[in-house]
């Protein structure tokens, strides 16, 4: 992940100063452990300033509005208590070339600051600290004790100390090419590494782009650069320093990240705020998505393995109980041939009533024939009772397995992160598993259960331009089938295979053609566990013929008056 370097921070703050000073603080909301959002209002506009101290993605920019779920963090409550209603009157660097921004708050523009909010954008050491006018710490996002850092503890009630001063050489526009070249090439080595070692304020990402546009590979050693190379590189070096001085940045997207210098651009961006917000939202979501998907997959894998073992045990016990009639038959044979029994017998062979074939019956030698027959009758009764006890237990486990396989299929469909909706779909699955008591997560703050997720369905158009909606998880499947579906729509599902509920939206009087039905059947097959098959049976019916059994888990439905089509998931996989 590309960290916010000094250049990017300077660019972001320059834009914020131009557009958001002064502004009033109306609200503070903490999104997660690492991010606060502050509602700013100017005479012309209102938006949310996002400050993050995430170890890999610390940043400051105008971001998206926070979700409508309660904020349970104390840090944001402390901030709004002190800053609510005040004006943001200054956004300043605490010292040249430092990645610490001092946000200053006063009663009104022109007055002296009552509070300072220091945003330290410094990789894994990032932090956000609120102090009063005399720099006494009121609260901090991350308190640092004396044991954690004897150099710079950060604790409530103590005086705020700025980070240790930079020890490297500060880049300067007035430095000549000769002096600059001499400093960088003093010890031969890779040009990128030598620049990083020689000067403060640089980042690997910035240097890689600077070298790219100067047409020099980062590993090129300083002693192999010719005068033209040095000339081209110094020109870019000066261009960078001039941009920092004039604050005329050019935000853009690069092949694997972003730039505020316009170098290596593959697409331009509206402004720096949009770039930072989009990049870091996507990067953090991608990280959360991978972690959550792995966590859910592992949990389901473990639960299903236990349930399948349980089902196998029950099935084996049922198989044993299938022998109940065999014990009764042997007891009947013994009672019918009491005269053939002799004391001390361990086994007796008698002819079967129906087939006449010999049947060997094991006997207990210390019991007579009647007592042995009674033991066999008891065994018969015991196995019959076991069947009536085990059958409902097996059914219960099989229903649970079917439900969890449905959840597992939903997770396997959400295989990679592309948009925020992908993460939301996984979060809904986690919430469902918590509500069904498969997961414990006391810290997890559940999303509001409003139906705003309608826009989160997968969406397609059939050959004749009918809309198709597909549930991404059980919550969406239920919503789609029992709330969204209209009288004229058609409901599709892979037959007896875990998968998504699929809805073909139809207006009154419209009739889908064979090509439309076939296309939707292909989608239902593709969004099922049978995605890799060549052909998959798919049922379809009207939504009014789809029911939820009483007490059934999310996503479970039964249907009637269905018709069957054969879906070909590979056609969807290949983009047809």
Preceding omega of 22 cis (within 30 degrees of 0): yes
Q: In this prediction, what percent of the chain has a pLDDT beyond 90?
A: 81
91 falls in which pLDDT band (50, 70, 90)?
Answer: very high
Residue 280 has pLDDT above 60, yes or no: yes
Residue 145 is predicted with a pLDDT of 84
Phi, psi of 259 (to 5 degrees): -145, 155
How does 398-425 read in b/e, with b if 16+ C-beta sit within 10 Å?
Answer: bebbebbbbbbbbbebbeebeeebbbbb
Residue 322 has pLDDT above 80, yes or no: no
Q: C-alpha dihedral over 441, 442, 447, 453, to 10 degrees? A: 20
Residue 361 has pLDDT above 70, yes or no: yes
- Within the chain, what is the greatest distance between any pair of CA atoms? 122
Residue 455 is predicted with a pLDDT of 59
DSSP class of 500: -
Residue 49 has pLDDT above 80, yes or no: yes
Residue 451 is predicted with a pLDDT of 43
Rounded distance between C-alpha atoms, residue 99 and residue 269, angstroms: 23
How does 224-236 read in b/e, with b if 16+ C-beta sit within 10 Å?
Answer: ebeeebbebbbeb
Once rounded to an integer, what is the mean pLDDT over residues 334-345? 91
Residue 47 has pLDDT above 50, yes or no: yes
Residue 449 is predicted with a pLDDT of 43
Read off the pLDDT of residues 477-518 as tens digits, 9 standing for 90 and up. Answer: 999 999 999 999 999 999 999 999 999 999 998 999 999 999
Residue 379 has pLDDT above 90, yes or no: no
Evaluate whether 93 touches 31 at the Cβ level (below 8 Å): no
How does 180-219 read in b/e, with b if 16+ C-beta sit within 10 Å?
Answer: bbeebbeeebebbbbbbebbbbbbebbbbbbbbbbebeee
pTM above 0.95, yes or no: no
Residue 199 has pLDDT above 90, yes or no: yes
The mean predicted confidence, pLDDT, of the chain is 92
Residue 122 has pLDDT above 60, yes or no: yes
Q: Worst-scoring range by mean pLDDT, 227-241, 388-402, 434-448?
A: 434-448
Residue 441 is predicted with a pLDDT of 67
Read off the pLDDT of residues 438-465 as tens digits, 9 standing for 90 and up. Answer: 998 655 444 444 444 455 899 999 999 9
Residue 326 is predicted with a pLDDT of 85
Q: Worst-scoring range by mean pLDDT, 237-251, 256-270, 376-390, 489-503?
A: 376-390
Rounded distance between C-alpha atoms, residue 10 and residue 91, angstroms: 10
Once rounded to an integer, what is the mean pLDDT over residues 228-253? 96
Residue 450 is predicted with a pLDDT of 44
Residue 304 is predicted with a pLDDT of 96
Residue 442 is predicted with a pLDDT of 57
Once rounded to an integer, what is the mean pLDDT over residues 536-562? 94
Read off the pLDDT of residues 214-223 as tens digits, 9 standing for 90 and up. Answer: 999 999 999 9
């Amino acid at each position: 992940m590309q960290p916010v370097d000094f250049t990017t921070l300077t660019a972001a703050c320059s834009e914020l100063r131009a557009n958001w000073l002064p502004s009033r603080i109306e609200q503070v909301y903490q999104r997660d452990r690492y991010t606060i959002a502050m509602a700013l209002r100017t005479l012309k506009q209102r938006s949310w300033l996002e400050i993050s101290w995430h170890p890999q993605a610390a940043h400051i920019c105008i971001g998206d509005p926070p979700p409508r779920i309660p904020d349970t963090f104390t840090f944001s409550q402390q901030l709004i208590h002190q800053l609510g209603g005040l004006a943001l009157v200054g956004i300043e660097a605490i010292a040249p070339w430092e990645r610490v921004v001092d946000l200053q708050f006063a009663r009104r523009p022109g007055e002296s600051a009552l509070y300072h909010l220091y945003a330290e954008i410094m990789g894994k050491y990032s932090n956000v600290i609120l102090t009063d006018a005399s720099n006494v710490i009121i609260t901090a996002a991350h308190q640092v004790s004396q044991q954690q850092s004897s150099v710079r503890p950060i604790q409530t009630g103590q005086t705020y100390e700025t980070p240790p001063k930079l020890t490297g050489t500060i880049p300067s526009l007035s430095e000549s090419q000769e002096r600059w070249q001499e400093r960088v090439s003093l010890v031969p080595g890779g040009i990128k590494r030598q620049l990083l070692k020689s000067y403060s304020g640089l980042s690997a990402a910035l240097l890689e782009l600077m070298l790219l546009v100067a047409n020099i590979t980062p590993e090129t050693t300083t002693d192999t650069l010719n005068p033209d190379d040095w000339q081209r590189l110094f020109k870019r070096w000066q261009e960078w320093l001039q941009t920092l001085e004039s604050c005329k940045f050019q935000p853009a997207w690069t092949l694997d990240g972003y730039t505020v210098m316009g170098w290596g651009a593959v697409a331009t961006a509206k402004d720096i705020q949009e770039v930072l917000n989009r990049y870091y939202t996507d990067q953090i979501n991608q990280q959360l998505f991978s972690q959550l998907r792995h966590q859910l997959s592992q949990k389901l894998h473990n639960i299903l393995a236990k349930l399948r073992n349980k089902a196998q045990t029950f099935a084996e016990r049922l198989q044993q109980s299938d022998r109940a009639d065999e014990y009764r038959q042997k007891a009947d044979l013994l009672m019918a041939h009491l005269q053939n029994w002799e004391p001390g017998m361990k086994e007796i062979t008698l002819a079967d009533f129906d087939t006449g074939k010999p049947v060997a019956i094991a006997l207990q030698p210390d019991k007579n024939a009647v007592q042995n027959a009674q033991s066999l009758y008891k065994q018969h009764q015991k196995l019959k009772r076991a069947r009536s006890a085990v059958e409902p237990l097996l059914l219960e486990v099989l229903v649970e397995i079917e439900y969890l396989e449905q959840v597992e299929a939903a997770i396997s469909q959400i295989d990679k992160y592309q948009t925020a909706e992908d993460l939301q779909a996984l979060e809904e699955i986690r919430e469902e598993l918590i509500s069904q008591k498969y997961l414990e997560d006391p810290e997890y703050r559940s999303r509001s259960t409003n139906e705003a997720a309608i826009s989160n369905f997968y969406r397609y158009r059939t050959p004749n331009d009918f809309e198709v909606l597909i549930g991404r998880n059980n919550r969406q499947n239920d919503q789609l089938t029992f709330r969204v579906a209209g009288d004229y729509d058609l409901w599709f599902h892979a037959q007896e295979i875990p998968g998504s509920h699929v809805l073909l939206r139809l207006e009154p009087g419209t009739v889908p053609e064979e090509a439309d039905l076939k296309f939707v059947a292909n989608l239902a097959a593709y969004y099922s566990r049978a995605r890799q098959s060549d052909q998959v049976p798919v049922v379809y019916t009207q939504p009014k013929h789809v029911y939820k059994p009483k007490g059934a888990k999310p996503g479970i439905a039964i249907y009637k008056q269905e018709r069957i089509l054969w879906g070909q998931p590979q056609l969807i996989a290949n983009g047809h």
